[in-house]
Amino acid sequence: MRILVLGGGRFLGRAFADAARARGHELTLFNRGRTNPELHVGVERILGDRDGGLGALAGREWDAVVDPSGFFPRVVAASARALAGAVKRYLFVSSISVYAEPIVHGMDESAPVAKLADPEVEEITDETYGGLKALCEDRLREAFGDRALIVRPGLIVGPNDTTDRFPYWPRRLARGGEVLAPGSPDAPTQYIDARDLSAWMVALLERDVTGTFHATGPAESITLGETLDRIARAVGGSARLVWVDEEFLKLQNVQPWLELPLWLPAADQALDTVSIARALDEELKFRPLEETARDTLAWERGLASDTRPPSPALKPEREAELLAAWRTRGRSGVHGET
């Protein structure tokens, strides 16, 4: 196939380009050329800005377009209109964050989506992100109808993830010692390796699939405790998990998800239980968590120190302070240590 990628220089777009090339497809990358321009040698590039610069794509045709970089409805609408007659299929990477509160455990793709109070807003915050993605989906459907393919990933993990939403754990567990583990080891969690997600998206395009799909994993439900235990075994070291109560962490103003990745408070954990039955029916496959953990740690260790982006995750000094305070309160036995 001839596939146009809107982006291709960052995490998921980069993984998709690798997966598509491995399958022998012909790629065109459309981006500003600012992010990792050294990647994908030999692939056609069209320099331009999708916000106002789509004229650079005029007169061309592709079998499909993949959009991992659309966040604002106005911009996605412009891309969809410009490409409606130039491509057969438009694959838009959305998010499981599109859903309206309250989130229901085990929800499928038919659950109600969030509505923004101001649909013209173009500022991404915790409050607007999901609603913006939902509106992007609407704009795509208006232009492509049943030719639209919408993928709603959960947490995307693996090498080249510069957000530190997952790399924190292989790095921290490899360092060993007492490791602050947040909340309950029985909490559910979901995630998908960018390489697995990308390979599956390529396969969907090859089979000409349409519709809307959750894209997260693993195939069988997994807890946070099992996740951290398996990462620890995969990366070695002598880590000992100390499970710290959610209420204590809240009192200490520790931010879920950012400072301690994978952790969602109990009230929000339904978002880590979405149904992936439709995706499994379409042959979504997952590599072992251990492989993702080892590959992620190896990638991070290979980064030059001056290329490491700032991380919102807990610093060692802060973690030590929290563990000391937790023990001082005499509550270390609430969930125990493993």
Query: Are the C-beta atoms of 128 and 121 separated by less than 8 Å?
Result: yes
Burial letters 207-230, b for 16+ CB under 10 A, else e: eeebebbbbbbbeeebebbebbbb
pTM over 0.85: yes
User: Model confidence over 288-334: pLDDT tens digits?
Assistant: 999 999 999 999 999 877 677 789 999 999 999 999 999 998 544 44
Q: How far is CA 58 from CA 4, 55, 63, 65, 87, in A?
A: 13, 5, 15, 14, 12
Report all structural domains of the chain as residue ranges with CATH numbers, in order of start. Answer: 2-153 (3.40.50.720), 168-191+218-328 (3.90.25)
Q: Residue 59: is it exposed, middle or buried by C-beta count within 10 angstroms (0-12/13-18/19+)?
A: exposed
pLDDT tens digit sequence for 64-98: 999 999 999 999 999 999 999 999 999 999 999 99
Whole-number pLDDT of residue 288? 98
CA-to-CA distance for 118 and 108, rounded, in angstroms? Answer: 26
Q: What is the mean pLDDT of residues 196-211?
A: 98
pLDDT of residue 334: 43
Strand partners, 87: 62
| Distance separating alpha carbons of residues 296 and 158, to the nearest angstrom | 5
| Per-residue 3-state assignment (H helix, E strand, C coil) for the chain | CEEEEECCCCHHHHHHHHHHHHCCCEEEEEECCCCCCCCCCCCEEEECCCCCCHHHHCCCCEEEEEECCCCCHHHHHHHHHHHCCCEEEEEEECCHHHECCCCCCCCCCCCCECCCCCCCCCCCCCCCHHHHHHHHHHHHHHHHHHHEEEEEECCEECCCCCCCCCCHHHHHHHHCEEEEEECCCCCEEEEEEHHHHHHHHHHHHHCCCCEEEEECEEEEEEEHHHHHHHHHHHHCCCEEEEEECHHHHHHCCCCECCCECCCCCHHHHHHHCCCCHHHHHCCCCCCCHHHHHHHHHHHHHCCCHHHCCCCCCCCHHHHHHHHHHHHHCCCCCCCCEC
Judge contact between 260 and 311, C-beta under 8 A: no
* Per-residue pLDDT at 121 exceeds 70: yes
* Sequence letter at residue 276: I
Contact 264, 272 (CB under 8 A): yes
Which has the closest alpha carbon to 234: 291, 152, 165? Answer: 291
31-45: b or e for each residue (b if 16 or more CB lie within 10 Å)?
beeeeeeebbeeeee
Q: Residue 101 and residue 104: Cα distance in Å, rounded?
A: 8
Please give the pLDDT value at position 21.
Answer: 96
Q: What is the pLDDT of residue 56?
A: 94
What's the pLDDT at 199? Answer: 98
Q: What is the pLDDT of residues 132-168, one digit of tens each?
A: 999 999 999 999 999 999 999 999 999 999 999 999 9
